[in-house]
């Protein structure tokens, strides 16, 4: 088989590169660089998108000081916050205590609250779902990340920070103004405009995005909007 110029930059040992050309792989991602490396670093703050990475593994490895996710006052058995509480031996939190704590702050009204859970190796900053709704809205997301961004700015020991994507959740679903699940780009835009520039972990179901090409940082390059407007 004739190989391209990338022969000098093989990814895998042996015949691994050819073997990994299987287009029938179930979970596939196509990543694009959003810019060429430069001797002058770009000062623009961006959200780093952790495609193909495992959030729980990275948190347990101590890669983050804070984690943004969701919590509700009804049942958190299936939430990532409960999973973390079970996996961290030194955490003083459990499924029941997390829910009971959330209930103390759950009052009628739409104002979003951010609850803090100290789990020893990571501080969880959890958006409390308003009790009058069974879902989050983009306005909730904007308000929550505005608060989180201010919290991180005031206490920089919360850096580095990571967040779930708020997409694909079972108990704390996210809907846009038309009661539809928003695009990932809309979620990223909402987070970024609220001032958040930490890492974000896409839902595992999004790992089957090929043949759609993906970027690993947000904001995306201007070429994306140019293509949408008919440019090349």
pLDDT for the residue 9:
79
Using the structure block, give the residue that is written with the tokens 């000062």.
43
Using the structure block, give the residue that is written with the tokens 């739409």.
110
Q: Dump pLDDT digits (tens) for 64-104.
A: 999 999 999 999 998 999 999 999 999 999 999 999 999 99
Q: Dump pLDDT digits (tens) for 23-54.
A: 666 678 889 998 887 788 888 899 999 999 99
Using the structure block, give the residue that is written with the tokens 């390059």.
221
Nearest to 116 by CA among 78, 152, 86: 152
pLDDT, mean of residues 57-62? 97
Q: Dump pLDDT digits (tens) for 153-211.
A: 999 999 999 999 999 888 899 999 999 999 999 999 999 999 999 999 999 889 888 88
- Supply 166's token pair: 């708020």
* pTM, two decimal places: 0.90
Mean pLDDT taken over the chain: 90
pLDDT for the residue 130:
92
Q: What angle, rounded to 10 degrees, do the helices at 95-105 and 80-87 form?
A: 130
| Architecture of domain 54-218 in this structure | 3-Layer(aba) Sandwich (3.40)
pLDDT, mean of residues 52-59? 96
Q: Beta-strand (E) ranges in the chain?
A: 30-32, 47-49, 66-71, 113-118, 123-128, 135-137, 161-164, 173-175, 199-201, 213-215, 217-218
pLDDT greater than 70 at residue 231: no
pLDDT, mean of residues 106-129? 92
- Supply 10's token pair: 């093989």
Please return the burial class of 171, using the count of CB atoms within 10 Å of its CB with bins 0-12, 13-18 and 19+.
Answer: middle
Using the structure block, give the residue that is written with the tokens 């009790």.
131
- Supply 72's token pair: 């509700």
Nearest to 1 by CA among 15, 11, 10: 15
Between the CA of residue 214 and those of 9, 13, 196, 206, 219, what are the distances in Å?
21, 26, 20, 11, 12
| In the chain, domain spans | 54-218
């Amino acid at each position: 088989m004739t190989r391209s110029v990338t022969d000098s930059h093989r990814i895998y040992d042996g015949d691994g590169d050819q073997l990994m050309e299987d287009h029938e792989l179930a979970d596939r991602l196509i990543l694009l660089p959003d810019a060429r490396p430069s001797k002058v670093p770009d000062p623009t703050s961006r959200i780093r998108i952790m495609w193909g990475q495992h959030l729980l593994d990275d948190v347990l490895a101590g890669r983050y000081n804070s984690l943004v996710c969701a919590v509700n006052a009804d049942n958190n058995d299936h939430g990532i916050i409960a999973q973390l509480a079970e996996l961290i031996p030194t955490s003083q939190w459990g499924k029941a205590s997390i829910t009971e704590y959330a209930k103390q702050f759950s009052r009628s009204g739409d104002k979003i609250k951010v609850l803090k859970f100290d789990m020893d190796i990571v501080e969880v900053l959890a958006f409390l779902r308003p009790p009058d709704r069974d879902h989050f809205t983009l306005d909730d997301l904007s308000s929550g990340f505005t608060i989180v961004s201010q919290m991180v700015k005031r206490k920089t020991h919360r850096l580095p920070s990571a967040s779930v994507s708020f997409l694909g959740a079972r108990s704390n679903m996210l809907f846009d103004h038309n009661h539809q699940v928003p695009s990932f780009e809309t979620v990223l835009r909402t987070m970024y405009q609220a001032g958040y520039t930490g890492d974000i972990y896409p839902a595992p179901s999004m790992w089957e995005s090929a043949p759609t090409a993906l970027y690993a940082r947000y904001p995306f390059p201007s070429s994306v909007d140019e293509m949408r407007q008919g440019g090349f």
